[in-house]
Structure 1
């Protein structure tokens, strides 16, 4: 089953805006969406963006994710965890989500917002009741 978040024709090549240039719209299969959401951190990113309901700064996103993952009994300090989260967002998770049109990542402004295929991801997460996870809080 293929998801078309805006009802566009499957062969549509309408560009999606991106800070790195136009990303061609492509339909995403349920399997592709599930593969990208196999990562707990990517699901948490989607939850934070969903909860913010407006573009969210990368700094705030890092804080949201690190605070949710932090274990006071662990050897890693919160500062070290935030650094690791920041690096993984820039190198792995945000590019993976952006390439599929799930988020838009403006590297120059340091802002993440929902992308053209965000609604498709929301419906999957809603079905799994993951949007109510504590990591969704961004304040």
Structure 2
């Protein structure tokens, strides 16, 4: 049975995770909290840091105000179950000897399922509408020979509009990839 489990874990590491595998990994609140912390930090962290943040979120306190019993309960669960499951799925690189955890690029697979990792805080639709309206006015100004836009050629105007849309799209993409809330989704108010 152990060989079958190891073979399944190896196949999970090499192949893309199926929807069922992702849901299985996200089944536990502690694992979701750990994923959130690792995704937010996006660098090598110590096992103790993960434990402290997961426990603090679970007990609705700060890492410094945790009781040792609360920390220990979460530590055991993470150590025995949750961190090894994430490592076996290839979501993290985990060294049990040093206690270092490094998220891999596969951690982004959860973004689509949890939807809040990349939740935009800015009204991007207004920026796109404003740029579209400005582009229409620019083209109408060139077509109607209104000063000062008549100094622009059609080629320069089209190139400028395409560049502006490209820059806005790139900024939007960067913002959504790098905007991760401080706390996990379960701790957010539903009124947000």
Find out whether 1:90 has 2:79 as its counterpart. Answer: yes
Find out whether 1:51 has 2:40 as its counterpart. Answer: yes
So what's the TM-score if we normalise by structure 2?
Answer: 0.51
1:85-139 Cα offsets, whole Å, 9 max, x none, are: 11111100011111111111111221111125212123322x2x26536259xxx
Show the counterpart of 1:102: 91
Find out whether 1:119 has 2:138 as its counterpart. Answer: no
What does residue range 28-47 of structure 1 map to in structure 2 within 5 Å?
28-47=17-36
Show the counterpart of 1:132: 181
CA contact (8 A) 1:62 1:82 kept: yes
CA contact (8 A) 1:102 1:121 kept: no
CA contact (8 A) 1:49 1:114 kept: yes
Show the counterpart of 2:68: 79
Greater CA radius of gyration, 1 or 2? 2
Unmatched runs of 5 consecutive residues or more in structure 1: 1-15, 17-22
Unmatched runs of 5 consecutive residues or more in structure 2: 1-9, 118-179, 186-192
Say which structure is richer in strand: 1
What CA RMSD, in Å, does the superposition of the two structures yield over aligned residues? 2.4
Distance 2:27 2:182 in 1: 16
The count of corresponding residues between Structure 1 and Structure 2 is 109
So what's the TM-score if we normalise by structure 1?
Answer: 0.68
Residue 97 of structure 2: SS of its match in structure 1?
coil
Q: CA separation of 1:116/1:52 partners in 2, compared to 1, >3 Å: closer, same or farther?
A: closer
